[in-house]
Amino acid sequence: MPTQNKNPEPRPPIVAVMGHVDHGKTTLLDYIRKTNVAAREAGGITQSIGAYEIIHNGRKITFIDTPGHEAFSKMRGYGAKIADLAILVVAADDGVKPQTKDALKYILEAKIPFVVAINKADKTNANIEKTKQDLMQAGVFLEGSGGSVSWNIISAKLGTGIHELLDHLLLVSDVEGFSYDPKAEADGFILTCKLDPRRGIIVGVILCNGRLELNDLIQTKSASGKIKMLENFLGENTSPILPSSPAIIIGFENAPKIGEEFVAGKKLATRAKTILNKISKPANQTKDEKDETLKLILKANEVGSLEALEDLIHRISKEAPLKIIQSSIGNIHESDVKTAESTRALIIGFRAKADKAAINIARSQKTTIILSQIIYELEKSIKEYAAKTISKEMRTIEILAIFGAPKGKQKIIGGKVILGPIKNQESFEIWQDKKLFGTGRIINLQSQRQDITEAQTGQEVGLLIESEESIKTGNKLLFNNQLVNATL
């Protein structure tokens, strides 16, 4: 957030509501929105941005939604960084939980002021004093208990105490004196990103400084474009957008990442170059050792969901060898299945759909697709799939002999199954001295000059294969260990 402005003008506070997933954060946000935004305007578009403005006592307050599930920890971190101040929600019937401490860590790292909302005061088992003690043990010392952190007792379900909580936020805002420079180049943060089949890339942003206008050039670390359409959080065409306001931008040429800073203006020179210079080059991804991982293609409906899915995979990969080979927003199409088939990858869709063509080709190619709207279900399905399909050793044939001269791509070889079973018509990787140098496919499989459909461990076989590579005795053919049933 900008801290020093040459020509300061006051701006509304940007507030992040943070806390444990079951402590009523979403209920609180819903109550505030529904009671402070006209009924016809309270749904739909506000949720697509991930932020909205309210009017309380004639003054604006902007709220950012920060999901509570641990897979969204990256977004919670962004929320604390973007916000001017935070509300830490703690349930009176449950006390401080690990995600409460996680949220508190982000708040303290961002060095922003915060207030505590002790929620669910209407519950029969609510215990305010125990909750205060839990907070004290977590290092949060409330006013009246030897500390300076302000707090309110509320019921997000009934709405009690919320008016006073909003008064409190405005008081903190007055003390902090949030401001912006109207003459500065516009800057802010990316909140959401979706791919709409009709409108293209729709990006939700929040502006921190300057003024955002139509036809401005806009730049982040990973994306750029020109603002062709600018809407406020209600979906109304508006220009300019002033600081602390959430907005929708259409005009990005490629999808930016959630949490990235953007700069915008009629000209982008020095600051845009600074952002571009921060882009990290991808690591060298040459493959010179045996890959024993389960390869994944990730699809999600929006950037936030995709980042949550990526975080989930990285967490599961600590338990099982997983590797993301491709990730993007949008539904699953035929091209995704063809990529999965050529790389022998599993497709995972989070809040994404598979079209009919993708489903049909997945079934014919025996490519697995796992879909879910709920990240907990995906986590369970991925772990179960990995447990069934990943082996410490890949199925292998060691080449013992080469017969005759190759005819084009076709070659006749003899080998021994080191680890089976090996099936006719399977694709394989060709390895030499722990290095991958090619791929191929079995055209015909024989044992004792008889055609067979499957060879077992220890069995000597003859193979007619198709490969562009020159194969030698001692090479090994490695076969993927995945199952072949589509889960649609």
Residue 4 has pLDDT above 60, yes or no: no
User: Which pLDDT score, from 0 to 100, does residue 278 have?
Assistant: 47
Q: Does the pLDDT at position 47 exceed 50?
A: no
Return the pLDDT at 20: 81
At 424 the pLDDT is 92
List the structure tokens of 364.
């014919």
Task: Please write the tens of the pLDDT for every residue from 417-460.
Answer: 988 889 999 888 888 876 777 888 999 999 988 999 999 988 99
Structure tokens of 482? 């995945």
Least confident range of 164-178, 274-288, 347-361 = 274-288
Can you read off the two tokens belonging to residue 108? 């303290």
Cβ atoms within 10 Å of 215's Cβ, excluding its own:
11
* 3-state DSSP assignment of residue 270: helix
What is the pLDDT averaged over residues 397-401? 93
Cα 276-8-86 angle, rounded to 5 deg: 75
**Contact status, residue 221 vs residue 276, Cβ threshold 8 Å:** yes
Q: Among candidates 251, 335, 348, 250, which has minimal Cα distance to 297? A: 348
Nearest-angstrom CA–CA distance, 473 and 371: 43
Q: Which residue has the higher pLDDT, 5 or 136?
A: 136
Percent over 90 (pLDDT), the chain: 36
- Reported as a pLDDT band with limits 50, 70 and 90, residue 322 is confident
User: Length of the chain in residues, anyone?
Assistant: 488
- Report whether the peptide linkage leading into residue 13 is cis, meaning its omega lies within 30 degrees of zero: no
Cβ-in-10-Å burial (0-12, 13-18, 19+) of 462 comes to buried
Determine the distance from the C-alpha atom of residue 417 to the mean position of all C-alpha atoms in its chain, rounded to a whole number.
41
Mean pLDDT of the region 215-231: 90
Q: Residue 396: name the closest of 456, 462, 467 by CA.
A: 456
Q: Where are the beta strands (DSSP E) in 256-373?
A: 261-265, 294-300, 322-329, 346-350, 369-372
What domains appear along the chain, each with residue ranges and CATH number? Answer: 9-180 (3.40.50.300), 186-277 (2.40.30.10), 294-389 (3.40.50.10050), 395-479 (2.40.30.10)
| pLDDT at residue 270 tops 70 | no
Instruction: Please indicate, yes or no, whether the overall pTM of this predicted structure exceeds 0.85.
Output: no
Torsional sign, CA 437, 442, 447, 452? positive
Q: Could you read off the pLDDT of 456-472 as tens digits, one per residue? A: 988 999 999 999 888 88
d(CA 349, CA 296): 10
pLDDT class of 45 with cuts at 50, 70, 90: very low
7: tokens are 């020509």
Flag whether pLDDT at 347 surpasses 80.
yes
Give me the mean pLDDT over the 355-359 stretch: 89
Q: How many CB atoms lie within 10 A of CB 148?
A: 7
Is residue 102 pLDDT above 50, yes or no? Answer: yes
**Which two structure tokens, joined as six digits, stand for 261?**
């800073």
**C-alpha angle 310-312-315 in degrees, rounded to nearest 5:** 110
From the number of C-beta atoms within 10 Å of its C-beta (0-12, 13-18, 19+), residue 376 rates as exposed
- pLDDT tens track for 150-175: 999 999 999 999 999 999 999 999 99
What is the Cα gyration radius of the chain? 28
Arithmetic mean of pLDDT over the chain:
82
Q: What is the pLDDT of residues 67-100, one digit of tens each?
A: 554 445 566 666 767 889 999 999 999 899 888 8
Asked if residue 43 has pLDDT above 50, the reply is no
pLDDT of residue 481: 55
Amino acid at position 160, single letter: T
Closest to 154 in 3D by CA, of 163, 145, 143, 144? 163
What is the structure's pLDDT at 75? Answer: 60
Q: And the tokens for 407? A: 């005819």
Amino acid at 136: M
Q: How confident is the model at residue 279 (pLDDT cuts 50, 70, 90)?
A: very low
Share of residues in the chain with pLDDT > 70 (%): 85
- The two beta strands, 346-350 and 294-300, are parallel
